[in-house]
Amino acid sequence: MRYDIVGRKTMIPTDYSFPEILLLLAGIGVSLLLGGGIGYLLASKGKRKKAPSTKAPPPLDSARLMSAKLRKLYAILADLTSSLDYQRVLDKSLDASFIALNIAERPTEDLVSAVLFFAEDGLAPPVLRVATGRGLPRPDQHRKTPGVEGVLGAAIDAGEPELSRELSSDPELSSFIAFQSCQTSYCIPLRVKLDIFGVLLFAHPDVRYFDSAQREILNVVSHQAMTALQNAQLFQELKDEKEHIIKVQEEERTKLSRDLHDGPTQTVSAIAMQVSLARRLMKNDPTAAEEELYRTEEMARRTTKEIRHMLFTLRPLVLSSEGLRAALNSMADKMQETYDQNVIIEVEEDLVYDLETSVQSVIFNVAEEAVNNARKHAEADHIWVRVKRLKDDLAFLEIADDGKGFDIEDVFDDYESRGSLGMVNMKERAELVRGLFHIESSPQEGTKIQIVIPLSDSAAERLRNL
């Protein structure tokens, strides 16, 4: 199977920012790999001298040229590993490959190269697209290919570099204009553990171009490229996560502002008017004034409950102190007390112990959002919140109601123009815990919101393949 790069937990010092840590790791990587790569190049040149040479030492200009090439390779590899820009890493990877081959006295004028990634366009199965290349005409730069046959398929299936000397008959690459004049190719899969996210591909008209020495050179550069790509991907994920946190915070502020405006703010204004009315009635009709003050008191009590419920949903302290089940039961009690809404909680207690704190928080937030939506829009008599185990490594959350339901397609057709994005929020929260989000509803048939949550990496892998 083929996947994109996924984030992983790492042990990192807390005295540095994430970008500084990435740069530090990149610097260590380039020092180790560069030393091995350049040492190999120099050793390869030395091995060709089987007998003591009787030739005169090379001219000074030749030595200076070699030194300049090595310095240029060092600079590109250093830039490659320290860069946090994805596209720059791709371009520098190909540049470093060309320079390394030049140092090994391999001409690169006819060399064609490309980086192909699995496209994130929803296609199933995913296909490879050209991310960047050298020597590719414009039509090839926008081409996609399955990556299941020929040298691409062999390298991806094996997870190891693959050499082909029959490129002209390759079932996938022969459709590329640039490769039609090439006889041999060398394909290196870009992988992180078991995940392959693309390939580095080199091709040349000379069928003997990629001998063992040249292949080893390209392997060293590709390994450096994979390290740099991981750093760039991690940095991008950090940026995306920061933007997502800001987005969630903004949505929470907007939701709180809307709830305050539609609820307590309106009620407080009504209370002020009723107090004014009671004050005028005090002189002429004390009995009516007393009744008005009684209604005002009840309204104030109800408003206090609403505000307390909002504060509870913003920061449910019981969730961190007593766990998910207690928090859901508390939420149900407050729904009954504040809105007279019947919420039934069904939680498998032994499952809660297997849920990380962050997962419990997501489950609570999704349940609270779904229950609130059902209370406001579904006119449901009952709302059920169920948390149970599907398998040993899969948890299941369901929020169901017996309300009026809705047509899902009609709602989603104009969802972007709606003021509320509750379902989008729930789906994004489910994705934070690598879960699958599903919704079922139809008019007069109620609504079911379901999320399957993996409890292990292997379970997350299975869900991702569905």
Q: Tokens at residue 453, please?
A: 């949550």
d(Cα 466, Cα 463) in Å, to the nearest integer?
5
Last residue of a domain, one of 208, 225, 250: 208
Within a domain: 169: yes
Residue 331 and residue 200 share a domain:
no
Last residue of a domain, one of 208, 233, 261: 208
Domain with residue 183: its CATH number is 3.30.450.40
Q: Which residue blocks in 194-285 are alpha helix, DSSP H? A: 212-260, 266-284
Within a domain: 375: yes
**pLDDT tens digits, 323-345:** 899 989 988 998 898 888 999 99
Within a domain: 236: no
Q: CA 266, 269, 273, 274: dihedral to nearest 10 degrees?
A: 60
Residue 330 and residue 454 share a domain:
yes
* This model's pTM is above 0.85: no
CA distance readout (Å), 442 to 410, 447, 450: 11, 7, 15
Task: State the average pLDDT over residues 289-298.
Answer: 84
Within a domain: 268: no
Q: What is the pLDDT of residue 209?
A: 92
Residue 323 and residue 460 share a domain:
yes
Place 449 in a pLDDT band, splitting at 50, 70 and 90.
Answer: very high
Last residue of a domain, one of 208, 238, 254: 208
Within a domain: 391: yes
**pLDDT tens digits, 56-87:** 555 546 667 666 666 766 676 676 666 677 67
Q: What is the pLDDT of residue 28?
A: 44
Within a domain: 232: no
Tell me how many domains the chain contains. 2
Within a domain: 61: no
CA distance readout (Å), 101 to 38, 87, 245, 463: 11, 22, 45, 43
The DSSP bridge partners found for residue 164 are: 185
Within a domain: 60: no
**pLDDT tens digits, 377-436:** 888 999 999 999 988 889 999 999 999 988 887 766 665 555 455 777 788 888 888 899
Residue 202 and residue 320 share a domain:
no
Domain with residue 448: its CATH number is 3.30.565.10
Range of the domain at 364: 315-464
